[in-house]
């Protein structure tokens, strides 16, 4: 049991450390709301503040309750991740990695929300006038981690179905 927690924490640190470092670099080197083209017409580095959730959901200045709400959601998500890890009968590599990446991303964004009152986003992809909402390394960890968790449960279901056939 302890071993699966160690593996998951290591995966979490793999996202958390670069997330915190890149956010500090962005805050200290890019002016707020600035845009710096890296691949013109496709990718910019920018410096934005997101008080909302993924993809800017509830990112508005007219409401004050979104930061406490998302702090609570982050804490609940972290608890749920630890519960899933503890209650899983067989924690596969996909599951440990996926939960770790989600955990690292959740902690990274939680740190921003608690210390700053917003999340620092800086990766800006766009094409033909369509922009994907800005995001950060924590968001990458959460997205990739969610995919791996889904894959882990899918593979487990397939294995269970073949065992009963």
Is 121 among the residues known to form the active site? yes
Quickly tell me which residue has 């596969």 as its tokens.
92
Catalytic residue among 112, 139, 157, 163: 139
Please state the pTM of the whole predicted model: 0.91
Q: What is the pLDDT along the chain (165 residues), one digit of tens a residue?
A: 677 789 999 999 999 999 999 999 999 999 999 999 999 999 999 999 998 776 666 666 677 788 888 899 999 999 999 999 888 877 899 999 999 999 999 999 999 999 999 999 999 999 998 989 999 999 999 999 999 999 999 998 887 776 665
Check: CB of residue 123 under 8 Å from CB of residue 52: no
Dihedral over Cα of 18, 33, 48, 44: its sign: negative
Q: Is 64 labeled as catalytic in the residue annotation?
A: no
Q: Which of 121, 124, 157, 163 is catalytic?
A: 121
Q: CA-CA distance, 15 to 22, in Å (whole number)?
A: 11
- Measure the CA–CA gap between 19 and 163, rounded to whole angstroms: 41
In the chain, where the domains are located: 2-164
């Amino acid at each position: 049991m302890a071993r699966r927690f160690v593996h998951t924490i290591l995966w979490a640190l793999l996202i958390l450390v670069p997330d915190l470092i890149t956010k500090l670099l962005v805050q200290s080197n890019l002016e707020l709301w600035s845009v710096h083209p890296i691949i013109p017409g496709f990718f910019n580095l920018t410096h934005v503040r997101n008080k909302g959730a993924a993809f800017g959901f509830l990112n508005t200045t007219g409401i004050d309750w979104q930061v406490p709400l998302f702090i609570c959601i982050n804490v609940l998500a972290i608890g749920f991740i630890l519960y899933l890890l503890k209650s899983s009968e067989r924690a596969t590599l996909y599951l440990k990695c996926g939960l770790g990446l989600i955990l690292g991303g959740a902690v990274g964004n939680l740190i921003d929300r608690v210390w700053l009152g917003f999340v620092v986003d800086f990766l800006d992809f766009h094409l033909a006038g369509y922009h994907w909402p800005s995001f950060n390394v924590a968001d990458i960890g959460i997205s990739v981690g969610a995919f791996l968790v889904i894959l882990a449960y899918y593979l487990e279901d397939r294995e269970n179905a073949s065992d009963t056939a």
